[in-house]
Amino acid sequence: MASNSPNPTTPHHLHTRTPPPTIRPYRSKRHPPCDECRRRKLRCEALHNGSCQRCSAAGHSCSFARLRPRPRPHSRQGTLPPKLPSPEIRPVAIGDLQPTEEIVVDQEPPGTHRSVDISFLELDTVGIFADPGGTRQHTPSAFRERHTHQTIQTLDGLTGVSYQVNGTSAESDPWLLRHCRFNDRGFLSFHQVHFRNAGGVPFDEKIPCHFLVSSDQLYEPSKAQLFPPEPLNTHEQLNNLVPLECGQRLIVLFMRFIFPTLPIISRSQFGLAAAGTVPDQSILERTPLSLLAAIYASAQPFAKFDDYLCLLDAYAPPPTDLLWRMVLDLVLRDIHTPHLSTLQAGILYLHRPVSVAESAVADSAFTWSLVGMLVGLAMSLGLQLDCRLMGLPLWEKRIRRRLWWAIYAEDKWRCLLLGRPSYIGDEDWDATDLNDDDFIMSESLRLALQQLPPSSQFSHELLSAQPFQQFIRLSRIADELQRSFFTLRASQRLSSDFHATLAIARPLLQKLKDWYALAPVSIRQPDHLPATMDSIYCQSNCLRFACILLEVFVFRALLRPMVRSAAPPPLLEETFEITEFTNQFNDLLAQLFEADEIEPSMAIDMSDENGLGNAVLRAADNCAAKVIRLVMRMTTSDLSSFWYRWSRIGFATVSNFLLLLLVQAPTKDHAVHARSLVDLWRRTLRNQSTGCPAMNLGLVRLDGSLWNGLANNYYLPKHVKEVLEE
């Protein structure tokens, strides 16, 4: 556990109380304050004999030991220390630096270095309590009202500290902080509280943006309440589970199979200059442990595509479960002092591959709670704010934008599939849409792409993460669909209003059609792609399935008001006498009324074959046939590619949608067609689930309803019962 005693290498202001700021008087560099006046924070009145007025009156001489320059470490590269860490992986700690030293922070791809002065962390309090009655002559204040520039510097790349965005209604008013005297690094310090100005954000167009930067030591007591003081997982333990040479290969597999649809890591920070490049082992050793373990575990299912790893896994099972357990432990441990790597590891944990043991079980409440925690973490890091104008390195701005849209999509799809309210409000973020600039590649990678034959132009879509960009555009439609149909208020308003529902559904279906029309050829016509490995991990079928799944939700909303809901039964306290009475009452109802008289009935006119009701039913049948056809045509390569983990809920949603078409079939012909669709979907899931455990939940949900008989579980019209009995 970190000690509370002051660290001699920690900046002075971290352990001293800062007096209230006043106008700072001018200090001549020719006559700096002596050590005694500096220690007592008093004005140093210089005399002609080299001493000062206070020391002469006290009877001792002045000393200036603090002015002697500290010796710099020798290096063959001048002032650049060896083995410089990447800021995203293991950056520089604030508390480990002297205020007059310069450090090198790698803000660019490995191989380039930039010198960063961190003297901005030192608060000079000399002269704050200066004697206003002194006789020393002063020139105007040397502190400029506004700095002419702010140096671009990493925010996530500082170790020993964590940061969180200062919101508009936070304890520190952003409209007060905008008047602060930030230094040219954008920092302002109050004892152990540091504010970092985002920099470059115009107040007239955007809100003032600041980050609260705090020492990790301040949160050690909070961590100790949940976890032991000593970490349970270390890089040494991870290397014992996955040797570095195997880890290098797993990262290559991650970039090949997962990055195109989940590009939440920085290729440049891993030193991946070209496709298939193996990262250096020193980079892996500096990578945050939670992120590295999550990458290893995510890529493990694709080890069969590596000539070396496939042999290792053939004789010894990989430690995938241990890796995921390590990831969750580290994410929960770091939640008090989060960084981008914490969010990256958390997102990968949400998309961990489905094991056979859990494939037929619905997600527990923990999953949605974890999504909420990660959304809160992302907003604490300020990812919801447009960072394009902030004073951050380009790589950091790119990864912040990609991470925001990744957690945005996670929230929108899971809230739709789970029927939960969204964590992200439409009024609480202003990040702009992704584009190719957010996936800029190194020059060496561009040169490698130019050497590819024309038939491999599709590789550019892969390396610029086009599948992910298209997925985010689809996620925006998913958000609009959920807010239009499935919020509590929208469901209450539209569940019995067919025409209002249809008016909302039409533009949404058109947006889905437009999305598909504008999608790359790899999504629209995957069968026409060259038979290369690129087509295996393009994720075209995953995105096409997601698009059709949104159509399913539109037709689910349209089918709601087409049938009247039966009145709920009266509520009675459960006693033996009342139970007997209820059974007798039900028997009496069965004698007085036919079963179909208390069953749901159509709420709209279905007599006109060309009417709106029949048109909607035909379109719903076509949608069901479309998704069945898509899943039937999936190859082994499609099934073995990366799938978003929530896709398994999507397969179960399709099963439920097909049952809805059958239960609410208005005529016998509709029931016959719906029954054939249900049977075809059941056979498809049985065949394809062998290579894709994500389909097991949909199969179990369907088998569970059919095994006991639909008539025993649902109130069915006579014509539907007849079809089922045939």
Q: What is the pLDDT of residues 478-534, one digit of tens each?
A: 999 999 999 999 999 999 999 999 999 999 999 999 999 998 877 777 665 544 444
For residue 702, pLDDT over 90 is answered with: yes
Tokens for 654, please give them: 């399709």
For residue 7, pLDDT over 60 is answered with: no
**Residue 529 pLDDT:** 53
Asked whether residue 211 falls in the same domain as residue 109, the answer is yes
DSSP 344-395: HHHHHHHTPPPPTTTTTSPPPHHHHHHHHHHHHHHHHTTTTS--TTSSS-HH
In a domain, 110, yes or no: yes
In a domain, 211, yes or no: yes
Q: Give me the amino acid identity at 666.
A: P
Asked whether residue 93 falls in the same domain as residue 216, the answer is yes
In a domain, 661, yes or no: no
In a domain, 91, yes or no: yes
Chain-centre distance for alpha carbon 198: 21
* Domain containing residue 58: 27-68
In a domain, 59, yes or no: yes
pLDDT-derived band at 16, boundaries 50, 70, 90: very low
Q: Alpha carbon of 232 to those of 170, 228, 229, 412: distances in Å?
A: 35, 8, 9, 34
**Residue 155 pLDDT:** 86
In a domain, 157, yes or no: yes
Asked whether residue 184 falls in the same domain as residue 211, the answer is yes
Most confident of 149-158, 326-335, 516-525: 326-335
Asked whether residue 102 falls in the same domain as residue 160, the answer is yes
**Residue 199 pLDDT:** 80
| Total of domains in the chain | 2
Asked whether residue 169 falls in the same domain as residue 207, the answer is yes
Average pLDDT over residues 451-472: 69
Average pLDDT over residues 437-442: 81
CATH code where residue 54 lies: 4.10.240
CA-only gyration radius of the chain, Å: 32
Q: Which long-range contacts (CB under 8 A, 24 or more apart) does 500-509 make?
A: 501/557, 501/558, 501/560, 501/561, 502/558, 502/612, 502/616, 504/557, 505/554, 505/557, 505/558, 508/477, 508/480, 508/481, 508/484, 508/550, 508/554, 509/551, 509/554
Nearest 5°: phi and psi at 91?
-85, -165
**Residue 240 pLDDT:** 94
In a domain, 93, yes or no: yes
Asked whether residue 40 falls in the same domain as residue 154, the answer is no
Asked whether residue 91 falls in the same domain as residue 206, the answer is yes
Asked whether residue 159 falls in the same domain as residue 59, the answer is no
Segments in 26-155 forming alpha helices (H): 35-40, 53-58
What is the C-alpha to C-alpha distance for residues 411 and 423, in angstroms, rounded to an integer? 7
What is the C-alpha to C-alpha distance for residues 517 and 511, in angstroms, rounded to an integer? 10
Tokens for 497, please give them: 């209003």
Asked whether residue 34 falls in the same domain as residue 118, the answer is no
For residue 256, pLDDT over 70 is answered with: yes
In a domain, 439, yes or no: no
Element housing 161 (H / E): strand 161-165
Average pLDDT over residues 28-53: 71
Asked whether 517 and 624 are in contact (CB, 8 A), the reply is no
For residue 455, pLDDT over 50 is answered with: no
Asked whether residue 37 falls in the same domain as residue 166, the answer is no
Would you state the torsion angle of the CA atoms of residues 510, 646, 417, 702, taken in this order, to the nearest 10 degrees?
A: 100
Residue that terminates a domain, selected from 182, 205, 220: 220
The pTM is what?
0.75
Residue that terminates a domain, selected from 220, 244, 264: 220
Could you read off the pLDDT of 577-605 as tens digits, one per residue? 555 666 666 665 555 555 444 566 788 88
Asked whether residue 94 falls in the same domain as residue 153, the answer is yes
Asked whether residue 47 falls in the same domain as residue 114, the answer is no
What is the C-alpha to C-alpha distance for residues 242 and 240, in angstroms, rounded to an integer? 6
Residue that terminates a domain, selected from 176, 201, 220: 220
| Dihedral sign, Cα of residue 410, residue 416, residue 421, residue 422 | positive
- Residue bearing the bigger pLDDT, 70 or 111: 70
Most confident of 88-92, 348-352, 357-361: 348-352
